[in-house]
């Protein structure tokens, strides 16, 4: 009573995919998860991309113009 007779039941052959195929599947799944997490909470992803590009361009132009001292002065006393 209570014994399992796995040796008597038909067994499915091991259907583990080739390691290379499995690696490709894992890469695709990771990319999909990354894309979904990036888009989470964003109603308009294209607008977000435009804003990020605009911000990067503004940072690049600020660096190329060379603001020199940075506009801050330190005074003591």
Burial pattern 7-22, b for ≥16 Cβ within 10 A else e, equals eeeeeeeeeeeeeeee
Q: State the pLDDT at residue 46.
A: 86
Mean pLDDT within 41-65: 87
- The pLDDT of residue 2 is above 80: no
């Amino acid at each position: 009573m209570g014994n399992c007779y796995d040796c008597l039941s038909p067994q499915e052959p091991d259907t583990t995919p080739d390691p290379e195929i499995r690696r490709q599947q894992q890469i695709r799944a990771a990319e999909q998860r990354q894309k979904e997490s990036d888009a989470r909470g964003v109603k308009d992803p294209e607008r977000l991309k435009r804003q990020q590009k605009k911000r990067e361009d503004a940072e690049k132009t600020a660096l190329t113009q060379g603001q020199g001292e940075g506009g801050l002065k330190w005074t003591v006393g």
